[in-house]
Structure 1
Amino acid sequence: MTTVIAFILMFGLLVFVHEWGHLIFAKRAGMLAREFAIGFGPKIFAFTRNETLYTIRLLPIGGYVRVAGEDPEIIELKPGHHIGLEFNSEGKVSRIIVNNKSKHPHARVIEVERADLDHQLVIEGYEVDENEKLYFDVDPKALFVMDEKETQIAPYDRQFASKSVPQRAMQLFAGPLMNFVLAIVLFTILGFIQGVPADQAVLGEIQKNTPAEQAGLHAGDKVVAIDNEPVDSWEEFTTIVRDHPDEQMALTVERNGQTQEIDVTPASITDQGQKFGQVGVARAFDDSFFKKITFGFTQTYDWGKMILTNLGKLVTGQFSLDMLSGPVGIYDATDKVVQTGFTNFMMWTAILSINLGIVNLLPLPALDGGRLLFVGVEGIRGKPVDPQKEGIVHFIGFALLMLLMLVVTWNDIQRLFL
């Protein structure tokens, strides 16, 4: 149950921060954000505030912000339609009753001749069985009412396409950007909670009944060489230890300003059929205030660089699809991380946030990066790509991404149960 709660909170935070970035910059640019959704599929919870419908949906596989103009508008008034009109105190149309007009006895029923709800905000038509042409000004926030469900109209100046290239690019980039900001914040908090991991091979806590304790190693010892080969970093020290299980090695350490040599034999640990060495020491931490402040930025950069390197290996064939993880694999990894403590869970959340930000910036259809690519092409060409063609590309891309997710999820299940 602890893992389930942790996974839901982690997933909700990552998606919320990402979509919140899209939402905030859409509103700042004057776009009409119709819906802010966490998850896909049927609605579990919903409420409306400041023009936007906020929903939590059943399937935890992402989220979205639906901005007016990104998809074809929901309702189009055509000549010959019979609609009901209700008016505000200024005499402008405030509600357009598309059907079930009998449920709105005070609505004024007309037959539409022409309607422009994008630019002029006007409806022209005739009352039923009358010949006098009527003109009605429409409020910019008027509502369509269809099957008793209200949907706000979206004049062109509230639509995605009406905004400048920089505004649209920023709205698309804001989601991944907020994921990077979240990672920076989480790593910074970690730096203040536990300190910053030392870059050099300085030993922290010595675990009980381990080769390190038996050999006489102390917390604060700095390993400067192994078997007379210089050691410059913690990563180099741990790599050498892991590669030499059950092999005695001579550690040259600095303690209280003096150098001494200590022999230690790493214990052999088996994981997934492979043996590796372990001596039983934790990494030391640096309490420098400056390093704590910069820790969030340096860790976000380092992990981002590592993720990009691995993505490059995937493209060149050095990684296979079997090495990717979907929701099932991430849940299983989260279960293992949760058991190791809250700080490791925070670090795992930060790493996943960086990963989400980078993956969404890839120039693939249906992802933020793919849509940014089309906006960039428009900026270069000076005119937008045909919306229908762009829509087809994104639809195909989304279908392929869903197929990839199914394949990855199936691989995750096989790894867990087969």
Structure 2
Amino acid sequence: MTTVIAFILMFGLLVFIHEFGHLIFAKRAGMLAREFAIGFGPKIFAFTKNETVYTIRLLPIGGYVRVAGDDPEIIELKPGHHIGLEFNDEGKVNKIIVNNKSKHPNARVIEVEHADLDHQLLIEGYEIDEEDHKLQFKVDQKAFFVMDEQETQIAPYDRQFASKSVGKRAMQLFAGPMMNFILAIVIFFILGLIQGVPTEQAIIDEAQSGTPAAEAGFQHGDEIVQIDGKSISTWEEFTKIVQDNPEEELNMTVKRANGETEEITVTPAKQESQGITFGQLGVTQMFEKSFTGTFKYGFVQTYDMTKLILTNLGMLITGQLSIEALSGPVGIYDVTDQAVQTGFNTFLMWTAMLSVNLGIVNLVPLPALDGGRLLFVGIEAVRGKPIAPEKEGIFHFIGLALLMLLMIVVTWNDIQRLFL
């Protein structure tokens, strides 16, 4: 149960932060954000504030911000429609009753001849059975459609996504991934405050029981200064040599915490992960408390994590990594369970890594992702005009279908790894 709660909280935080970025920059650009949703499927909880409906939905597999203009408008008034109109104190239409007009006895019922709710904000028509006298009504910019007693705010063109400049649209799309990177920085900063930051030198905090390091006699505070005659000044140099030499004997010069120097011979154990073989000693790095170092740690760790994920993504594209190395929801849940069992700090580290991963994946120029939509905005900036919405829609539809297929394959691989 602890893992389930941790997984839901972690997933909810990642999705919330991502979609919050989209929402904030949509509102800053003057776009009408119709809905901010966590999850998909039927609504579990909803409330409305400042034009936006905030919802939690049944299936915890993502989230979205629905901006006016992203999809075709829900209701279109056509000639011949019978609608009811209610007015505000300024005499402008503030409610357009689409059906169930009998429930609104004060509404003025007309037959529509022409309606422009994008630019001119007017409705023209006739009283029922009085076609010899055309009427014209101004519509308030924040008027509502009322259909099945559900209110939906109209979206004039200047409140729609497509009406905004290329820069504002690009920023609104980029804001989601950007917030995931910011979240990772904040989490690493918190980690630095809790546990300290790793020292740059190759200083050992602990030799874990039953590992080559413990058997060789490594102790708390040992600093590795030489390996096979090569000087070592950083933890990265130390770990790279160890990882590059599985089952190879290494002669290390160690400076003890008391200042004495000793020679230790150790053979890294052979480990394998995602088809990659590497050496491992079983030691943890020394940490120290430093506010300045903690601030730097948040940015450095996020940068290093980004570089690692991009490297693996490149290897996946070039075929150096198999698609079997990818994990879906099942695999992520399994690793989350391991992280929870290990401890709170490991769980935070895992959350930060997933946040970076979510930011990067969403920036990949694939259909239906933020990166795919940014690609079309970029093409528009170069061409000077947008690609036809119908063509872009087909592109995203096909891409979404392929992504769903990939998700099925990845989930099946996760299940095989866990149960078969």
Deviations 1:110-133 (A, max 9, x none): 000100101111001000011211
CA distance in 2 between counterparts of 1:262 and 1:342 reads 34
Q: Which of 100-109 and 168-177 deviates more?
A: 100-109
Is 1:111 matched up with 2:111?
Answer: yes
Counterpart-to-counterpart distance in 1, 2:278 and 2:169: 50
How much has 1:391 moved relative to structure 2?
1.3
Paired residue for 1:308? Answer: 310
Query: Which amino acid in 1 is paired with 2:220?
Result: A
CA distance in 2, matches of 1:98, 1:60: 33
Stretches of structure 1 that go unaligned for 5 or more consecutive residues are: none
What does residue 325 of structure 1 align with? 327
1:260 is aligned to: 262
Please report the TM-score for the alignment, with normalisation by the length of structure 1: 0.93
**Aligned residue number for residue 363 of structure 2:** 361
User: Which residue identity does 1:164 align to in structure 2?
Assistant: S
Shift of 1:307: 0.7
Letter in 2 for 1:142: A
- Aligned residue in 2 for 1:72: 72
**Which of 294, 297, 306 is 1:295 aligned to?**
297
Deviation at 1:220, TM superposition (A): 1.6
Bigger shift: residues 96-105 or 264-273: 264-273
Q: Which residue of 1 aligns with 2:39?
A: 39
Q: Deviations over 1:345-392 (max 9, x none)?
A: 111100100010011001111111111111111111111111111111
In percent, how many aligned pairs have the same letter? 75
- Indicate the RMSD between aligned Cα atoms, in angstroms: 2.3
Distance 1:267 1:140, change over 3 A: closer
Moved more, 193-202 or 231-240: 231-240
Q: Are 1:218 and 2:252 an aligned pair?
A: no
Change (3 A) 1:190 1:394: same
| Counterpart amino acid of residue 66 in structure 1 | R
Aligned to 1:351: 353
The reply to whether residue 409 of structure 1 matches residue 408 of structure 2 is no
Report how many aligned residue pairs link the two structures.
Answer: 418
**SS class of match (1:366):** coil
**1:221 deviation in Å?**
1.5
* Aligned: 1:379 with 2:351: no
Give 3-state SS (helix, strand or coil) of 1:199's partner. coil
CA distance in 1, matches of 2:315, 2:276: 23
Match of 2:63 in 1: 63
In 1, Cα distance between equivalents of 2:405 and 2:220: 51
> Structure 2: where are the runs of 5+ without partners?
none
For residues 83 and 390 of structure 1, the distance between their equivalents in structure 2, rounded to whole angstroms, comes to 34
Could you tell me whether the CA contact under 8 Å between 2:274 and 2:325 is conserved in 1?
Answer: no
Give 1:218 shift.
2.9
- Cα deviation digits, residues 331-353 of structure 1 (max 9, x gap): 11111111110011111100100
Once the two structures are overlaid, the 10-residue window that deviates more, 20-29 or 93-102, is: 93-102
Q: 1: distance between equivalents of 2:47 and 2:292?
A: 43
Indicate if the aligned counterparts of 2:92 and 2:139 stay in contact, CA closer than 8 A. Answer: yes
CA distance in 1, matches of 2:183, 2:273: 32
CA distance in 2, matches of 1:49, 1:307: 38
Q: CA deviation at 1:250?
A: 3.4
Aligned counterparts of 1:299 and 1:362: Cα–Cα separation in 2: 21
TM-score for both structures, normalised by structure 2: 0.93
Q: CA deviation at 1:280?
A: 4.7
Query: In 2 relative to 1, CA 262–332 (structure 1 residues): closer, same or farther, beyond 3 Å?
Result: same
Indicate whether 1:146 and 2:147 are aligned: yes
Letter in 1 for 2:157: Y
Match of 1:136 in 2: 137
Residue 193 of structure 2 corresponds to: 192
**2:287 corresponds to 1:285:** yes
SS class of match (2:342): coil
